[in-house]
Chain A
Amino acid sequence: MKKIMQTRRQVLQTLAFTGIAGAAVGKFPGMAYAADGGTLKIQFERELDSLDPGYFVGGSPPNDVNWAIMPALVLYSRDGGWTPSPHVESVVARDSTHIDFTLRKGMMWSNGFGEVTTEDVAYTYDREAVSEWKGDFVAYDHVEIKDKYSGTIVLNQPFAPFMNTTLASGTGIIICKKAVEAAGGKFTIEQPATCGPYMVTEYRQGQVLKLRPNPDWNGAKPAYANIDCLFVTEPSAAALAFEAGELDIAKISSEAYARYLKESPANSALTVAGALQYMWMGMNTDHPKLKDIRVRQAIQHAVDAASVVQGAYAGTAEQSYGVVCPGLVGRREKTGYSYDPSKAKALLDEAGVSGLKLTLRTLNNQERMLSAQIIQANLAAIGITVEIIPLDSGPFWNMGQESKGDTWKELELWIMRYGSGPDPYEPFQWFVKDQVGVWNWERWSSDEFEDLFAKGVAETDSEKRKEIYFRMQEIMEETGAYVFLTHEPEVFIHKSSLSPHFAPSGEMIVGAFNKV
């Protein structure tokens, strides 16, 4: 029997012949798939909202685009640290509060706004320090301008994470003073002036953003001249588009990650860009049902975090032992409590508690709901009845904040996930005394914790910082208010011929992509 094989073109010609394709006869340029042409096709998982580093939502895609078209002093290196950007001759930390930098000469802004100068750097960071992202610039004081190309960033206190969490991050890009002022001081999806290896030549909302070589760029040429950024918001669709050859790189879900670990498409590779998310189950230490620390400790011993990793994340997430994420200084390898239902029961008996009924609030998405159900089963095993309350993100993010109503008084248990930057100080900032009733929904405070937080920020010795952050996580778990659950990875599937480069928070730095 003859096997019938038709090419794409033959099929389309047949369609055209039968009239289905009508006017399209002999004209199907869309067949230039990613794999066939010279254009790299990457996925953006979210619509572009704003590129203004002071007022954007952040994350991907704004950071991916800005890093491709805008100057910066430093960029994330492949080892997770930082490296001077192509826009500078040098960046050197002179001491704990002074960072000297020298810009390369002849780096020209687009639209005739002249050279990138020290004045642009000073303008940018002064603006950031009073913007919505001023939290990233808490240690920034001012820029001393030496000349057109050289200056010094002066910090108001020693701040070890400044390079990684501020300068290399998405809020560290430099904007053009003259252009932004000419635009009225603010802008959204179009940078008033750019200066990077790429320029945006076309943007169609919900469809594509095209990056093409910047003809005025006099730095090193990136490996890929043309990049089409396709907006594919659904992870399953992105995975299918990758399999169909229409994307060269796509972010995938935990479910797809588990599937591809068993069998991935030909000529593909998986890259974990980072796991800077930390998820835990929190307990309200002020709630009458949970005021007794033995009850909270019983819950810590009753929940099997390993089952959550397997059951809700198909084994693709890393188990969490604290708030410091994998790869960062201070990441722990175990918790002070362990999964031990009999010990949990004993603690409940000791506290004289029986027939306890609790509510567990969670965001209404697949992984969280599965996690909640596993925890519900774990707690049922020690006689605690849990009612799961799934919530939309609006009410969920308000429920522990005193300024947003009274729900914080009723909070008992909840599943929470925060994102971290590439420095261990970041997660701890949400649990200090000032954050009680803001983001510290567990509602505890500790003088020792406050002291250690201040020391950790100022300390530059890695070993000493590690000890500080170990102790801070011990203090957190000793409150009994935390059951640490997972660190979810940011995973990408890509052509094996591509060597991608990511920020620790998972955004793509396309200018540093390489061909293998």
Chain B
Amino acid sequence: MWSYLSKRILLSVMIVFLAILALFITLHSIPGDPVSIALGPRATPEIQAEYAARMHLDKPLYHQFAIFIGNVARGDLGKDLFSNRSVLLILSEQLPFTIILAITAIGWSALIGIPLGCLSAVKPNSIVDRITGILSVGTIAIPSFLVSIWAILIFSVGLKWLPVIGAGEPGDIGDQIYHLILPAFAVGLGWVGYLARMVRASMLEVMSENYIRSAHAFGLKRRTIIFRYALKVAILPTITLIGVGFGALLSGTVFAEIIFSRPGIGKIIYNMVLARNFPVIQGAVLITIGMYVVVTLISDLLVSLLDPRVRDTL
């Protein structure tokens, strides 16, 4: 296990390094002069020169990358171009909102999607299976921004039950949950379908395994076979999917964050791209990459704990 863990961590570090390199190259490949893009046309030559020196843009590219890596290693993600606030501080204010939204969305979709998938697999080709299939494909096919808008139109504009904008008052859990319901619903709906289809497919495969047939032959109760033996194995790819899904949601909640005007990493990336605030964009993407890698690592470790055979595959 320790060998697997160390290899997996090493791989994660390499992935993060390559991602930082890709991010750096991408940002420096954007057409146009980065100083005038960042500062706009009104900045005087003196201000442009001062900015270029401050951001090390007057140095060769490899030198800039080395400085960037060094700063990242020290936890220094730079300062907001306009407000001069620490990027790390800005992101630390925004990140909890995205994590909470992603956990809630994935959480409720898992609570619904996994049992639905089990139900379909246990009664394949039944009416329940067909209805679940249609619902699953339906929820996968509808984009989350469309779900958001319809949810707002129905529950906020029409019925006036739930709020449209904001994340609630700080320190008021009730208000924050109240503001979380619609965004979490919109973000998680598609994942209900994904998870249901994944669990169904895995369960059907496992249910045809010899050890399940043996269990039937030994006269074990159907419920025991399904939940103790079949689901334990069938859930493994779903755990991986949830891990990847959670990572994707860290940046994928952007539509919900914009439409519901919630703070969050996705929204801040969007706003800062519009404002050409490169230090914040760089920091936010970096944090997202880091979170993605950590979550994927955790889900892989979880899978390896449940299925020791996985440890030999790396």
Contacts and interface: CB of A to CB of B under 8 A. Distances in A.
A272 interface: no
Q: Is the interface of A mostly helix, strand, loop or mixed?
A: loop
B163 A398 contact: no
Contact of B168 (A30, A232, A392): A30
A243 B31 contact: no
A48 B83 contact: yes
A12 interface: yes
B196 to A, nearest CB: 20
B163 A204 contact: no
B169 A237 contact: no
A483 B42 CA distance: 26
**Residue among A6, A208, A244, A392 facing the most chain B CB atoms (10 A cut-off):** A244
A205 B85 CA distance: 11
Given A23-B177, A49-B275, 8 more contacts: A6-B161, A23-B173, A28-B178, A30-B172, A237-B259, A246-B163, A246-B165, A394-B276
A24 interface: yes
A207 B166 contact: yes
B84 interface: yes
Contacts of B181: 15, 20-21
B153 A240 contact: yes
Contacts of B274: 233
Contacts of B85: 188-189
Interface residues of B, number: 57
Contacts of B90: 205
A47 to B, nearest CB: 5
Residue in B31, B90, B271 whose Cβ sees the most chain A Cβ within 10 Å = B31
B258 interface: yes
Contacts of B40: 57, 397
B41 interface: yes
A30 B169 CA distance: 8
A48 B85 CA distance: 12
A230 interface: yes
CB-CB nearest 7 A-B residue pairs: A27-B174, A49-B82, A24-B174, A394-B32, A206-B263, A244-B156, A394-B37
Given A395-B32, A404-B32, A132 B263 contact: no
Given A188-B83, A237-B165, A237-B258, A398 B178 contact: no
A233 B258 contact: yes
A39 to B, nearest CB: 12
A132 B44 CA distance: 7
Contacts of B139: none
A355 interface: no
Contact of B160 (A20, A245, A247): A245
Interface of B: 30-33, 36-37, 40-44, 47, 82-85, 90, 93-94, 149, 152-153, 156-157, 159-170, 172-175, 177-179, 181, 258-261, 263-264, 267-268, 270-271, 274-276
Interface string A238-281: 00110111110000000000000000000000000000000000
* Chain B interface, >50% SS class: loop
A436 to B, nearest CB: 15
8 contacts: A28-B175, A29-B174, A57-B40, A132-B44, A240-B149, A243-B157, A244-B157, A246-B156
B152 A24 contact: no
Nearest to B276: A394
Interface string A111-152: 000000000000000000000110100000000000000000
Contacts of A204: 93, 170, 263
- Kindly name the residue among A27, A189, A206, A247 whose own CB sees the greatest number of chain B CB atoms within 10 A: A206
Given A57-B82, A205-B263, A47 B275 contact: yes
Contacts of B174: 21, 23-30
Contacts of A50: 82-83
A50 B275 CA distance: 13
A11 interface: yes
B30 A241 contact: no
A8 interface: yes
A404 B36 CA distance: 9
B173 A24 contact: yes
B258 A207 contact: no
Nearest to B82: A49
Given A206-B94, A246-B164, A398-B36, A234 B258 contact: yes
A231 interface: yes
